[in-house]
Amino acid sequence: MKRAELLAPAGNMEKLKMAFHYGADAVFLGGKMFNLRAGSHNFNDEELKEAVEYAHSMEKRVYVALNIIPHNNELELLPDYVKYLEEIGVDGVIVADLGVFQVVKEHTNLNISVSTQASNTNWRSVKMWKDLGAKRVVLAREISLDNIAEIRAKVPDIELEVFVHGAMCMSVSGRCLLSNYMTGRDANRGDCAQSCRWKYNLVEETRPNEYMPVYEDERGTYIFNSKDLCTIEIIDKILDLGVDSLKIEGRMKGIYYVSNAVKVYKEAINKYYAGEYEYDPTWMEEIQSTSNRSYTQGFYHGQPGAEANNYNDRNSYSQTHQLVAKIEEKIGENEYVLGIRNRVLAGESLEVITTSGKPRVIVMPKMTLITKAGEEVVEAANPNSTVKVVLEGGFEAMDMIRRVKETQE
């Protein structure tokens, strides 16, 4: 059986390396132009070349997002840009707009994935893209398991990619006007202000200063606020459909989110293809450890009900664990250099997230702080500092260290 690809977000080079470390088969990322994450670091031309070379050295793949809905004045630079992407060997581009699709076809032989922004929810539209020359279609989020099965049956000769984890948009496949209308920031060109996450109250026209909550809660209402997508509990059903790529959303999320999601889904996928699949409740526990707005399975079972939205639940994020440090380098048999992400104390009980198996408990020893002035043994280290430590257990560079949070957000 052909294995489905696990596709992870890479907002920068560090996230790309972390995604591959924890088991991603491919990443999607954006350059400095033409992609829908203007707020992300993104990759300049040299960084794109470095990313592709790094991925290919590990037999991994890189897809570049060209998924904006462009205006006329944004098209001039596109031909040279796609030629450059082909020159450096990217494995494909992600396109939403027919004009961009045509430019890519006219100037390169790049593999084209049709973006979820194209809102493909039926087999006829998927077949049309296949006939135009697309290699893959990223199906819209607004689609059920049954619909995917029918598309797979009626269009067997094109790759299908589906979202399995990450933020959900209140608009159809992200085509939102709220941000542009309210702030002048165009969601369809990568600059969404996430207006759907704001707090709203009802105002009656003749009483402009009276703000009335739509429900009995002093915090406001979140009528546009979807829960996050999580399919770890039904990942076997999605794999049963014969899809080619499972996509995790989140190029603007941190390394802990990306790495943790990749590790959990990779473990489930491996068990599926080994014929040993059985849902493990600890997978959801691990997914809950990263920042989230609580979870829904979206449209996979058909039209979602009220439980898929945070109408009167919460707008803030929740997580059970906090990233403390990342192992930057192994410098001896049991000696490591750590990059500190949150303040840490000697004597703390922490967990190391390795590439396989359950988290491994450690007690943080005294640390040697590395500064320009020299080295100093310390009992506490602050964010953005670098320390050396001795840890028993045979860990690897890029393994993460976390703590259990004492209080929930």
Q: What's the whole-number mean pLDDT along residues 286-313?
A: 75
Q: How confident is the model at residue 42, as a pLDDT? A: 83
Q: How confident is the model at residue 30, as a pLDDT? A: 93
Q: How many helices (H) and strands (E) does the chain have?
A: 10, 22
Q: Is the model's pLDDT at 220 over the cut of 50? A: no
Q: Are strands 321-330 and 400-404 parallel, antiparallel or unpaired?
A: antiparallel
Q: Is the model's pLDDT at 76 over the cut of 70? A: yes
Higher pLDDT, 192 or 221: 192
Apex CA 134: angle with CA 136 and CA 2, to 5°?
35
Answer whether CATH 2.102.10.10 is correct for domain 321-404: no
Lowest mean pLDDT among 51-60, 116-125, 181-190, 273-282: 181-190
pLDDT tens per residue, range 197-211: 666 666 777 878 777
Rounded CA gap, 161 and 90, in Å? 18
Q: Please, are residues 226 and 218 in contact by the beta-carbon 8 Å criterion?
A: no
Q: Is the model's pLDDT at 175 over the cut of 70? A: no
Q: What's the whole-number mean pLDDT along residues 361-385?
A: 97
Answer whether CATH 1.10.150.20 is correct for domain 5-172+225-308: no
Rounded CA gap, 122 and 148, in Å? 8
The dihedrals phi and psi of 65, each to the nearest 5 degrees, come to -80, 125
Q: Is the model's pLDDT at 311 over the cut of 50? A: no
Q: Is the model's pLDDT at 221 over the cut of 70? A: no
Tokens (6 digits) for 394: 């045979």
Instruction: Spell out the SS3 assignment of 203-256.
Output: ECCCCCCCEECCCCCCCCECCCCECEEECHHHHHHHHHCCCCEEEECCCCCCHH
The segment(s) of the chain belonging to CATH 2.40.30.10 are: 321-404
Using CB atoms within 10 A of its CB, is residue 332 exposed (0-12), middle (13-18) or buried (19+)?
exposed
Rounded CA gap, 43 and 173, in Å? 24
Amino acid, single-letter form, for residue 204: E
CA 270, 271, 273, 276: dihedral to nearest 10 degrees? 160
Q: How confident is the model at residue 224, as a pLDDT? A: 60
Q: What integer best gives the mean pLDDT of the chain? A: 88
Q: Is the model's pLDDT at 310 over the cut of 60? A: no
Q: Is the model's pLDDT at 1 over the cut of 80? A: no
Instruction: Spell out the SS3 assignment of 311-342.
Output: CCCCCCCECCEEEEEEEEEECCCCEEEEEECC
In three-state secondary structure terms, 65 is: strand
Whole-prediction pTM: 0.86
Q: What's the whole-number mean pLDDT along residues 101-121?
A: 96
Q: What's the whole-number mean pLDDT along residues 274-292?
A: 95
